[in-house]
A and B are shown apart, each in its own frame.
Chain A
Amino acid sequence: MNYLIGRFLSGMLTIYIVATLIFLLLYLVPGDPAEILLSSGGMAPGPEAVAALRRNLGLDQPALVRYGQYLAGLFRLDLGVSFQDGAAIGPEIMRRIPRTLELIGAAGLIAMIVGVPAGLIAALRRGGVVDNFFSAIASFGLSVPIFVTGTIMILFFSQILRLVPAGGYVSFAQNPGQHLVYLLMPSCAIAISLIPVVFRMMRTAVLEVMEREWVRTARAKGLEERKVLRRHVVRNAITPVISVLALQMGTLLGGTVLVEYVFNWPGLSGMLVQSVEQRDYPAVQAIVLVVCVLFVLINFCIETLYGLLDPRIRER
């Protein structure tokens, strides 16, 4: 129990430090939100307009007062309101998180569907033409940036072939079919960078498992090769693949910025980009904080699980 309380408190401390750091960093970033908000496009706002907006936004308050208000808000689980249109930020983030998670989830799924069989085949044909071919493609997929793949996909699939819309979003509730069509390209673009990871991990894991004694025993017993693969090799090899993929997807939480931008997918990252451009401090603070809380939460869960499973960790 002490262990859990300790973990919880250190998690809360991390969140507090992050919250403070974001506040301070945004304070140091040049650019006055009131000015930016009234200056997009090249026209200059009048000084009275800027001053009035600064007052409305509370930007004329001393830093310490604003810091206090910010922390007090966080204690009430109030993430504040956007500088841009005065809308509450909390609900907006909650609306957007599932979209980003969906994108990452779909990409992970595609990566598994493509990467696992490819890795298996490459391992079975180790050193052969197929193995070399797949490995070469994987290196290529890993080295091309996501936004390049994305742009090429848009050019080919929507501009030339006119198969799918170039980008956008429709909610699942509104039109499930259309929703999936819009999901297809961005999730494939992310998957292209995930597939090589899955492929390599799978290939290595299969090769490793095949050397194990129990595989040799299964074969010695005269078990059919297909059954050996399915029951013994794939089942054992896939565990490390899943954990690596899960790790990758965790980092993608903040890494889908470019894909969301290129394909106009209205997730959390797109909101972050727009908020940074507009110097919408409350929104930027809230998004970064929410991502941080998610990470802390995941870590807390994992460590708790470890602690439960392995008493030695609790003693440390």
Chain B
Amino acid sequence: MAGGVSRRRFLETAAAGAAFTLGGLPVGIGRAQTASTVRFGLSSFPPNLHPYEYTGTAALSVKLTLHRGLLSYDANGNLRPELAEEWSQPDASTYRFSLRPGAVFHDGSPVEAEDVRWSFEWIAAEESTAHLRADFQAIEAIEIEDAQTLTVRLSEPSVTFAQTLASGYAPVVSRNSVAPDFIGAGPFTLGQVERGQSITVEKAPEFVREGVPVVDRIFFNAMPDENLRTAALASGDVDIIEYVSTHNMQPIEDADGTHVASVNGPFMYLVFNTTEGPTADPRVRRAIGYAIDRDALNAFGFTGMGNTIDGLPVHPNDAYDPSLVSERLVYDPERARALLAEAGAENITLELLSTAQYPQHNDTALVVQQSLAQIGISVNMNLPDWATRISEGNEGRYHIGVNGTSGAYNDPDSISTWLGGGQSPSYNRPWGYGNPRVDELLQQARQEVDTGARAELYAEIERIFIEEDLPLLPLLWRPQAYGVQDSVHDFQPLPGFLVFQTALALDGVSLG
């Protein structure tokens, strides 16, 4: 701008002038802040702060500041010791941990091996509502050597159990805790809670890792409306916001003083009813696999910012090599028509279940409907609210269901959640699917220590997945974006599926 006055400076001056004209009313005071408070715009107010229950991403963000487990993740998504100082895996079913001397809970008591046992037994208990209950039931024994050392023995070998322990849903809490008031050992302690509105966490005075956290407190403000979150970031009311949709990413990036921190974390996909209706025939499912125009979906629903998926939904990993499988999921309507003809399923009508509550689910449903119309399949849309959608999904009331989800960790074993048979029905798993051969391969891959051999096993699973079963159809990786003020340093989302544990990065965030 002429005269060296930036637009922002001009507006600030105008705003200051306006403050005077309003008769001294302290306008703009909402932005007053001390330098060491990070203000975080949450997408919803946490239903509760139960450390072991799955109550959504916004809740996890707060919980990760209050609680820590034996292990966690660094900024690159690599496992790092957290309350454990070091750990080893003498064999595929044994894990040994030494706790950090000096680690204390928020009530001042030291973190001891007994607390670890108490926490893990709580998670695995019969009556437990813990998200990871099933994973923790794989623990056969917890042997305590001394207050600082313990060994966890599993009933069967697992190369992924360390990832489970690093999950935000597996923190260690004090054995003096009385549910639901669990005493954690995280970098922050719970401060003021304005129910339905905001939660403040204060720097824990004795957090065990040197130099963290950097800031004195984090003020979590629940702002369910995305427009409000974006406006609050633009006007400087908050420092970081979560769940920025793709159409808001560019404006935030273009604005002075703010930027987007994003990774392609979760993925959008379709699940099929594999036992009833036309989709019970794998040829129909595969026809749909070749009929969906993923690029159109990316352009229409995700402003071109997603990345299409042509095989299993696995993030780059040493144990997964997509080049081992030549057949990929691509847009090929001709082939789709041929498969339909082979199945004798031309001119069919399918019931599609999605939700109108979230635009990304709604848009995906629309593109699917359009794509399928091209190969002569009519689609009846069922778009109830999210809660109803979950119920109907859990009861298998669909031929095709639209979903967006994330795995527990970046290891390819994450796909067990969706492909493993013998699990209870769930809206995010294909209805009625189970293949003993796939189950066997998944099991072998979970126990195989050699990375190259694991990659071969996952390649075999991918071959069956694409060429035979296709119980679910991965569509694209979806950007999971945060809007951030430029004055915030060292805030970067964790890669891949770990993006929902990004609050771990709040430890190292500084302002200036």
- Chain A residues in contact with chain B, CB under 8 A? 29-32, 35-49, 52-53, 55-56, 84-87, 92, 95-96, 151, 154-155, 158-170, 175, 177-178, 180-182, 261-264, 266, 270-271, 274, 277-279
Contacts and interface: CB of A to CB of B under 8 A. Distances in A.
B54 A43 contact: yes
A47 B234 CA distance: 42
Among A32, A41, A175, residue most surrounded by chain B Cβ atoms (within 10 Å): A41
Nearest to A53: B129
A162 B236 contact: yes
Nearest to A33: B387
Given A158-B235, A166-B237, A43 B129 contact: no
B129 A36 contact: no
A167 B388 CA distance: 30
Contact of B231 (A53, A159, A266): A159
Interface string B379-415: 0000011111011101000000001111000000000
Contacts of A46: 131, 133-134, 424
B390 A159 contact: no
Nearest to A171: B194
Contact of B48 (A39, A44, A85, A164): A85
22 contacts: A29-B388, A39-B427, A40-B44, A40-B55, A42-B404, A44-B417, A45-B131, A46-B133, A85-B180, A158-B235, A158-B237, A163-B19, A164-B27, A164-B28, A167-B231, A168-B30, A168-B232, A169-B197, A177-B26, A177-B29, A180-B25, A266-B196
Contact of A40 (B12, B47, B227): B47
Given A38-B54, A95-B195, A159-B231, 9 more contacts: A39-B54, A40-B56, A84-B47, A92-B196, A161-B11, A178-B29, A262-B227, A270-B196, A274-B44
B483 to A, nearest CB: 13
Contacts of A168: 30, 197, 221, 223, 232, 237
Contacts of A271: 196
Contacts of B386: 36, 277
Contacts of A151: 227
Nearest to A262: B225
A163 B48 contact: no
B121 interface: no
Contacts of A53: 53, 129
B195 A92 contact: yes
A36 B390 contact: yes
B57 A41 contact: yes
Given A43-B54, A274-B196, A162 B47 contact: no
B489 interface: no
Given A44-B426, A52-B128, A162 B235 contact: yes
B196 A181 contact: no
A169 B30 CA distance: 9
A85 to B, nearest CB: 4
Interface in B180-225: 180, 194-197, 221-225
A79 to B, nearest CB: 15
Contact of B390 (A35, A96, A158, A175): A35
Contacts of A163: 15, 18-19, 27-28
Given A42-B405, A42-B406, A159 B30 contact: no
B129 to A, nearest CB: 5
A178 B47 contact: no
B1 interface: no
Closest 4 CB pairs of A and B: A165-B30, A31-B387, A40-B56, A44-B426
Among B128, B387, B426, residue most surrounded by chain A Cβ atoms (within 10 Å): B387
Contacts of A52: 127-129
A154 B228 contact: yes
B12 to A, nearest CB: 7
B122 interface: no
Given A159-B234, A163-B15, A264-B222, A30 B45 contact: no
A277 B196 CA distance: 13
B428 A30 contact: no
Interface string B24-39: 0111111100000000
A35 B391 contact: yes
B306 interface: no
A290 to B, nearest CB: 16
Contacts of B474: none
A151 B230 CA distance: 11
Contact of B427 (A44, A55, A56, A279): A44
A56 B417 CA distance: 26
Contacts of A169: 194, 197
Contacts of B405: 42-43
A48 B130 CA distance: 9
B428 A42 contact: yes
Contacts of A31: 385, 387-388, 390-391
Given A44-B428, A48-B133, A87 B195 contact: yes
A154 B227 CA distance: 9
Contacts of B236: 162
A53 B48 CA distance: 13
Contacts of B128: 48-49, 52
B177 to A, nearest CB: 15
B223 A167 contact: yes
A53 B232 CA distance: 36
B283 interface: no
Contacts of B18: 161, 163
Nearest to B31: A165
B47 A37 contact: yes
Interface in B233-279: 234-237, 266
Nearest to B228: A167
A169 B403 CA distance: 34
A190 B367 CA distance: 38
A31 to B, nearest CB: 3
B446 interface: no
B30 A182 contact: yes
A44 B388 CA distance: 14
Contact of A263 (B26, B134, B228, B429): B228
Contacts of B178: none
Contacts of A48: 126, 128, 133-134
A155 B44 CA distance: 21
A86 B392 contact: no
Contacts of B14: 161
B404 to A, nearest CB: 5
Given A43-B406, A52-B128, A181 B235 contact: no
Nearest to A48: B133
A169 B221 CA distance: 10
A262 B59 CA distance: 21
A162 B12 contact: yes
Contacts of B426: 44
A53 B386 CA distance: 20
B253 to A, nearest CB: 15
Contacts of B54: 38-41, 43, 45, 49
A223 B375 CA distance: 84
